[in-house]
């Protein structure tokens, strides 16, 4: 897994995330974004995106809400968009699979 900040300020997450490295990924992203008031995280570079990524996205939304920040996800793989919609989380975490159509997701405490 790699986390890099692009020149436009967007953080890009790439590589493989599974249950074995999810805690380290969660902590690394939160440490990188912890002081920012607005987070944009591009997920287009993920090799595989399953339920653990949705769990991480929810954790980051919660972390942002606690700190008064906002979070938005761009480049969300279609498989995650479908999963988020299927389980009814689109109201808590609206996403759009099109990286050009940034879906703003105000962080909410839950």
Q: Is 96 domain-assigned?
A: yes
Q: Is 110 domain-assigned?
A: no
Q: What 3-state class would DSSP assign to 64?
A: helix
What range defines the domain where residue 86 resides? 2-105
Q: Is 30 domain-assigned?
A: yes
Q: Which of 52, 44, 32 is nearest to 102 (CA)?
A: 44
Q: Is 74 domain-assigned?
A: yes
Per-residue b or e along 72-85, where b marks 16 or more CB atoms closer than 10 Å to that residue's CB: bbbbbbeebbebbe
Q: Is 50 domain-assigned?
A: yes
Instruction: Decide if pLDDT at 104 tops 80.
Output: no
- Distance in angstroms (rounded) separating the CA atoms of residues 89 and 80: 11
- Distance in angstroms (rounded) separating the CA atoms of residues 16 and 28: 14
Q: What percent of the chain has pLDDT over 70?
A: 85
Look up the CATH number of the domain holding residue 95: 3.30.750.24
Tens of pLDDT, residues 6-28 = 999 999 999 999 999 999 999 99
Q: Is 92 domain-assigned?
A: yes
Q: Is 97 domain-assigned?
A: yes
pLDDT-derived band at 99, boundaries 50, 70, 90: very low
* N-terminal to C-terminal alpha carbon distance within the chain: 28
How many domains does the chain contain in total? Answer: 1
Q: Is 26 domain-assigned?
A: yes
79 or 95: whose pLDDT is higher?
79
pLDDT-derived band at 98, boundaries 50, 70, 90: low
What is the model's pLDDT at position 49?
A: 82
């Amino acid at each position: 897994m790699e986390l890099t900040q692009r020149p436009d300020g967007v953080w890009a997450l790439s590589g493989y995330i599974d249950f074995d490295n999810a805690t380290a990924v969660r902590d690394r992203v939160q440490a990188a974004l912890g002081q920012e008031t607005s987070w944009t995280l591009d997920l287009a570079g993920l090799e595989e995106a399953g339920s653990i990524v949705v769990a991480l996205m929810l954790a980051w939304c919660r972390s942002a809400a606690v700190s008064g920040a906002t979070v938005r996800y761009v480049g969300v793989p279609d498989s995650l968009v479908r999963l988020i919609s299927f389980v009814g989380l689109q109201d808590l975490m609206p996403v759009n699979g099109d990286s050009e159509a940034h879906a703003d997701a105000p962080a909410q405490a839950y």
